[in-house]
Structure 1
Amino acid sequence: MVAITTRPTVILPALNLVLFFAVWEYVGRQIDPILFSPPSRVIRVFGELIISGELLRATLVTVGTLAVGYGLSVAVGIPVGVLLGRQAVLGRVVNPYLDAIYATPRVVIVPLMILWFGVGFTGRLFLIFLGTVIPIIVSTAVGVRDARPDLIEVAQSFGALGFHVVRHVQLPAAVPFVASGLRIGAERAVVGVVVGEIFLELTGLGGLIQLNAVRFNTAEVLCSVVVIAVIGIVFIGLLDALERRVSPWREAT
Structure 2
Amino acid sequence: MSETSKPTQQPQPVAKPKRSVNTTLIWQLVILVVLLGSWEVMSGRLFDSFWVSKPSLIVSYIYNWVLNGDFMRHLTATMTEIIVGYSLGAGLGLALGLPIGRMERTAKILDPFLLALNGIPRVALAPLFVIWFGIGITPKIVLVFTLVFFVVFYNSYAGVRSVERRYVDLAWVMGARSFRLFSKVILPAAMPYIILGLKLSIPYAVIGAIIGEFIASSEGLGYKIQLETSIYNTTGTMGGIIVLMILVVLLNSILAWIERRALAWRPPSRSSDAGGQGL
Q: What TM-score, normalized by structure 2, do the two folds share?
A: 0.83
Mapped contact 2:85–2:144 kept (Cα < 8 A) = yes
> 2:6 is matched with which residue?
none
After TM superposition, give the deviation of residue 55 of structure 1 in Å: 1.7
Q: Cα gap change, 1:232/1:155 in structure 2, threshold over 3 Å: closer, same or farther? A: same
> Highest CA radius of gyration, 1 or 2?
2
Q: Cα gap change, 1:227/1:2 in structure 2, threshold over 3 Å: closer, same or farther? A: farther
The question of 1:180 aligning with 2:196 is answered yes
Segment drifting more, 106-115 vs 175-184: 106-115
Secondary structure (helix, strand or coil) at the match of 1:29 reads coil
How do 1:186-205 and structure 2 match up within 5 A?
A: 186-205=202-221
After TM superposition, give the deviation of residue 148 of structure 1 in Å: 2.3
> 1:85 is matched with which residue?
101
Segment drifting more, 171-180 vs 243-252: 243-252
> 2:277 is matched with which residue?
none
Match of 1:17 among 20, 23, 32: 32
Counterpart amino acid of residue 145 in structure 2 = F
Mapped contact 2:73–2:219 kept (Cα < 8 A) = no
Identity within the alignment, %: 28
> 1:152 is matched with which residue?
168
- What is the distance in 1 between the residues matched to 2:108 and 2:252? 30
Structure 2, unpaired ranges of 5+: 1-15, 270-279
> 1:210 is matched with which residue?
226
After TM superposition, give the deviation of residue 171 of structure 1 in Å: 0.8
- What is the distance in 1 between the residues matched to 2:228 and 2:189? 47
Q: What TM-score, normalized by structure 1, do the two folds share?
A: 0.91
> 1:28 is matched with which residue?
43
Mapped contact 1:24–1:39 kept (Cα < 8 A) = yes
Q: Cα gap change, 1:52/1:83 in structure 2, threshold over 3 Å: closer, same or farther? A: same
Structure 1, unpaired ranges of 5+: none
- What is the distance in 1 between the residues matched to 2:218 and 2:117? 25
- What is the distance in 1 between the residues matched to 2:117 and 2:238? 31
- What is the distance in 2 between the residues matched to 1:2 and 1:39? 39
> 1:45 is matched with which residue?
61
Per-residue CA deviation, residues 20-40 of structure 1 (Å, 9 max, x unaligned), is: 112211232244444221111
> 1:59 is matched with which residue?
75
Mapped contact 1:244–1:250 kept (Cα < 8 A) = no
Paired residues in the alignment total 253
The question of 1:73 aligning with 2:61 is answered no
After TM superposition, give the deviation of residue 54 of structure 1 in Å: 1.5
Q: Cα gap change, 1:44/1:249 in structure 2, threshold over 3 Å: closer, same or farther? A: same
Q: Cα gap change, 1:2/1:10 in structure 2, threshold over 3 Å: closer, same or farther? A: farther
Per-residue CA deviation, residues 28-87 of structure 1 (Å, 9 max, x unaligned), is: 224444422111111111111011241222112111211111111121111100121011
Report the RMSD for the aligned CA atoms in angstroms.
2.1
